[in-house]
Amino acid sequence: AQTIHQWPVAEIKAVGSPLSLGCTIKGKSSPNLYWYWQATGGTLQQLFYSITVGQVESVVQLNLSASRPKDDQFILSTEKLLLSHSGFYLCAWSGGARNYAEQFFGPGTRLTVL
Amino acid sequence: QQKVQQSPESLSVPEGGMASLNCTSSDRNFQYFWWYRQHSGEGPKALMSIFSDGDKKEGRFTAHLNKASLHVSLHIRDSQPSDSALYFCAVSESNYNVLYFGSGTKLTVEP
């Protein structure tokens, strides 16, 4: 069975500080990977996706960047946090083989920027 | 600009009742439609997909798609308190890796 793990579970950071969030998928080779941001009680906004190691596509610019250093790992980062970065960050994966593949979401990371 | 609109914003139904959620998109390039459900503090989970006009039933959940009007609905019969959650419509174009989520409907099922 596939499992998806996100770290950390929650973070409280200062404006202007750097950030790194991680996501690991086990039990699935060559998954498509995704990052989403969600304001409290709001909709999900897709940020990035990656279909292979080393390649990341940006969907929306929010002063964030993403990298895929390994087949099973996806990293979201920024050098300078803004207040607007607060929210819930979700990583997801899909099988990628079909053009209608379901996305499976992780438990999320709650980020508070002060 | 929100590409996917949902209504109502919130909905309250009694246990055992029927809940009806609506979703309308503004882009005729959308081809694939999903319903996701998110319980508080968790990641969303897919309920069902629908890609062809008409109805699709899975257990207590029925989705209806009308591509001509870009409208998809979700009906939950025999609603249970555990169905209380945020429900999102999600759509994608030919690039299935980009998924657009709707504004969401908060469903409360009262015991």
Q: What is the pLDDT of residue A97?
A: 59
* Consecutive H or E run containing B74: strand B71-76
| Cα dihedral sign, B34-B91-A101-B108 | negative
Residue A14, pLDDT above cutoff 60: yes
Range B26-54 average pLDDT: 92
Please judge whether B97 and A43 are an interchain contact, meaning their C-beta atoms are less than 8 angstroms apart.
no
Judge whether A38 and A47 are in contact, CB under 8 Å.
no
Residue B12, pLDDT above cutoff 80: yes
Residue B1, pLDDT above cutoff 60: no
Mean pLDDT of chain A: 93
Considering only the beta carbons, identify the residue of B94, B98, B102 that sits closest to A43.
B102
Residue A100, pLDDT above cutoff 80: no
Residues of chain B neighbouring A42 (CB-CB closer than 8 A)? 104
pLDDT tens-digit map of B63-94: 999 989 999 999 999 999 999 999 999 998 87
Please tell me the distance in Å from A81's CA to the nearest CA on chain B: 23
Q: What is the pLDDT of residue A112?
A: 97
Distance (Å, rounded) from C-alpha B33 to C-alpha B35? 7
| Closest residue by Cα to residue B98 from A6, A107, A55, A51 | A51
Residue numbers of A between 84 and 103 with CB closer than 8 Å to B: 90, 92, 94, 99-103
Residue numbers of A between 31 and 70 with CB closer than 8 Å to B: 32, 34, 41-46, 49, 51, 57, 59
Please judge whether A49 and B100 are an interchain contact, meaning their C-beta atoms are less than 8 angstroms apart.
no
* Strand pairing class (A32-38; B105-110): unpaired
Please tell me the distance in Å from A110's CA to the nearest CA on chain B: 9
| Cα distances (angstroms) measured from residue A63 to each of A69, A78, B61 | 20, 7, 39
Mean pLDDT of chain B: 93
